[in-house]
Structure 1
Amino acid sequence: MGHRPSRHSHQIKKYQKFIDTRAPEIRHSVEVAIKGHRFMRVKQPKGAKGSLKWLQRAVERRPDLLQPDDIPQIEWRSPLKSDDYAEYRDRDFLNLVGCAQHADALSDFWPRGGPQWDALGVSETGPVLVEAKAHIPEFFSSRTAATEPSKHRIESSLRKVAIDLGATRPDLWSEIYFQYCNRLAFLWWLREQGVKATLFYVCFLNDPDLNGPTKPETWDAAFASANYALGLSKRHKLSGSIKYLYPDVTQLS
């Protein structure tokens, strides 16, 4: 009987092609994922509407709209047209931003199936993690749907983060605004590992298809409401590591 190709062989070939186009400093970390056959790379279609559409366009056409003045030049590594506009999570997101050495520690903090980042980049100061929104309903999310024992690990980690940030309602962090909370939790975890990560909330303005907010103040009110419900003060341990950006989609049309 002839040699039967590994069921991962097709994925490995695609990843090898991807590696060949990447900056040398991240090739090794991506190769770690290939050797272990662990993939959490989620291919995306070309965005037709909403934050998927606008973020892909911003990264590809107008990265200046995603570049705060006080952050060194960002190299965007996802989503890229040359990489099927893929989004990353778990070990693969760490690999992509050059933090593969922290993968084992992540598994202690959070089970597989963690946040899928809308965009990922790297600057001289560290990784940039992006959560993007185009209309207010995207901001709301229900409690975790994980089952035991994953649910227990998530609840325990969120409670630990909430308490460290001084939140007065830590028990609610796995019940309401779950997506918002887990993004904060991953930023907290990276900073605890000594990684100088920054979290960007990219809040698009004037989305015509989804009737999105027209002013930054509308987004600010949504974040303020979430913080109030979670018992999180406006200023906390992570405040200096979070950026709020408000690109106008008329600049991307």
Structure 2
Amino acid sequence: MRVQQPSGTRGSLKWLQIAVNQAPDLVQPPDLPRIEWLSPLATDSYAEYRDRAFLDRLGLGHLGPGLEQFWPKRGPQWDALGMTAQGPVLVEAKAHLREFFSPPTQSRDTSRQKIEEAFNAVQTDMGISSSTDWTRTYYQYANRIAHLWWLRQRGINASLLFVSFLNDDEMGGPKHAESWGAAFASANYALGLTGKNPLLRHVVHLTPDVRLLQAP
């Protein structure tokens, strides 16, 4: 699904659109090769992508049938997508901590069952106790991690980039990178993702300052 977005006027929608289109160096992790941004582009109506459409955008459309078996429709809608010489980059952006504490999944019946089966597969592979209910605790973060795992299981050298903006005073966002670090550390602990988990090597964090994106 391709989801056309308005020009952002506040929060992470605004800042990520500006960064990708006008200041890409600010969202270029030093540990990754140069990112070619594929969304959200001004020339593409700032569209965001989900389900098979995000794979198509990354040139991975052949994986579409497998994704449909792994996850129900209306899966994660990626804030940005990029490609490097090594592989794709999936992006989730936040401007304030309240966004990070997502509610449990609202899926029911067969969709809920498919999500639970997907999480169980991820947890089993990573040696995480199935008693940790990823459908309730940090659900949005968990489903992004699950999609990274799914791609890498298929030989795709994917990275998951969290862009956590600083100094968004309008949204009451954090002023220090340590605040975001503490939030992610809490989520990892709750989900059983220890620092030694090999998947976390492919999770990248940036904390750009929105003041660098504001007109003087």
- TM-score, normalised to structure 2's length? 0.96
Structure 2 match to 1:126: 87
Displacement, 1:235? Answer: 2.4
| Alignment of structure 1 residues 59-208 onto 2, 5 Å | 59-168=20-129, 170-208=131-169
Q: Which residue of 1 aligns with 2:192?
A: 231
Name which of structure 1's ranges 61-70 and 187-196 shifts more when overlaid on structure 2.
Answer: 61-70
In the TM superposition, residue 237 of structure 1 has moved relative to its aligned partner by 2.2
Letter in 1 for 2:46: Y
- Decide whether the 8 Å contact of 2:71 with 2:118 is kept in 1: yes
Report if the CA contact (8 A) 2:103-2:138 is conserved: yes
User: Which of the pair has the greater relative contact order for Cα pairs under 8 Å at 6+ separation?
Assistant: 2
Show structure 1 runs of 5+ residues with no match.
1-39
Contact 2:36/2:82 (<8 A) preserved:
yes
Tell me which moved more, 224-233 or 97-106: 224-233
For the residue of structure 2 that corresponds to 1:55, the secondary structure is helix
Task: State the distance in 1 between where 2:192 and 2:24 align.
Answer: 34
RMSD: 1.1
Following TM superposition, by how much is the alpha carbon of 1:171 offset from its aligned partner in structure 2, in angstroms? 3.7
Paired residues in the alignment total: 214
Moved beyond 4 Å, runs of 4+: none
User: Alignment identity in percent?
Assistant: 53
Amino acid at match of 1:147: R
Consecutive unaligned residues in structure 2, runs of 5 or more: none
Asked if 1 retains the 8 angstrom alpha-carbon contact of 2:37 and 2:83, the reply is: yes
1:64-122, CA deviations, whole angstroms, 9 ceiling, x for partnerless residues? 01112221111101001111101000000000001111101111100111100000000
TM-score between the two structures when normalised by the length of structure 1:
0.82
Q: Deviations over 1:173-208 (max 9, x none)?
A: 111111000000000000001000000000000001
Greater shift, 140-149 or 56-65, is seen at: 140-149
